[in-house]
């Protein structure tokens, strides 16, 4: 799971403006451990949200030299193997939120 946390935190840093705020929360409900990370970046284009977890997909090509589009695909694959799921949503007026759900009983 270190790859999951490293990738999500690195992406939040990469896409946040200088002096932006990154918020992380960890909570649980009866069935899930829930990790939430939010940033102040531009968010994810609505069309791109369909593909953001695909290998080699890069929604923001201005950061193309900083990666190969494998990070979020790896996040999804690791979370799937752990019987969890990951979601992405935009915050308004700006920012992005990734939510990782991991089952409590694994």
Q: What is the pLDDT of residues 46-99, one digit of tens each?
A: 888 787 887 655 555 444 445 546 789 999 999 999 999 999 999 998 999 999
Calpha distance 28→41 (Å, rounded): 26
For residues 94 and 74, give the distance between their C-alpha atoms in angstroms, rounded to a whole number.
25
pLDDT at site 51: 79
Instruction: For strands 23-28 and 96-103, give the pairing.
Output: unpaired
Rounded-to-integer distance, Cα 95 and Cα 89, Å: 9
Other CB atoms within 10 A of residue 103 CB: 12
Query: Residue 18: pLDDT above 50?
Result: yes
The reported pTM is 0.84
């Amino acid at each position: 799971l270190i790859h999951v946390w490293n990738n999500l935190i690195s992406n939040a840093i990469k896409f946040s403006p200088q002096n932006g705020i990154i918020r992380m929360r960890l909570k649980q409900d009866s069935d899930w451990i829930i990790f939430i990370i939010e940033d102040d970046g531009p968010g994810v284009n609505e069309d791109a949200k369909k593909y953001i977890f695909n290998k080699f997909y890069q929604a923001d090509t201005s950061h193309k030299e900083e990666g190969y589009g494998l990070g979020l695909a790896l996040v999804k694959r690791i979370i799937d193997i752990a019987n969890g799921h990951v979601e992405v949503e935009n915050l308004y007026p700006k920012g992005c939120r990734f939510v990782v759900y991991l089952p409590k009983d694994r």
